[in-house]
Amino acid sequence: DTGVSQDPRHKITKRGQNVTFRCDPISEHNRLYWYRQTLGQGPEFLTYFQNEAQLEKSRLLSDRFSAERPKGSFSTLEIQRTEQGDSAMYLCASSQQGAPGGYTFGSGTRLTVV
């Protein structure tokens, strides 16, 4: 098992453009989480999936943000009409339901909006 993979590692985009990030969880994990981390802060929860169902969304997740996990495997996070305030590290994690505390994080995607 190669752990949680995130792609790309870095993304620089112009304000107003759309971006999409991908997360591949550990294959046997049925839960997948997205977090956002800004400089000097702890990760903030955005959303999570159990299999293909999106079970919870944070109020931080504005209408410009959408996440999918179509087949219950990999997930994508799309940001439309990016703003400078979207610049952050986007972290993905996965876990297995019923395995308390078994979260594994990916290395993150660093987004810079210029």
Partner 1 sequence: AQSVTQLGSHVSVSEGALVLLRCNYSSSVPPYLFWYVQYPNQGLQLLLKYTTGATLVKGINGFEAEFKKSETSFHLTKPSAHMSDAAEYFCAVSETGTASKLTFGTGTRLQVTL
The contact set with partner 1 (CB under 8 A) reads 4, 31, 33, 35, 40-45, 48, 56, 91, 93, 95, 97, 100-101, 103-108, 110
> In what order do the strands lie in the sheet containing 19-24?
5-7, 19-24, 75-79, 65-68
Q: Which residue is it, tokens 């169902």?
A: 53
- Give the separation between CA 91 and CA 108, rounded to whole angstroms: 4
CB of 101 to partner 1, least distance (A): 4
Closest CA relative to residue 88, chosen from 17, 35, 51? 35
Closer residue to partner 1, CB minimum distance, 18 or 56: 56
CB of 91 to partner 1, least distance (A): 6
CB of 43 to partner 1, least distance (A): 5
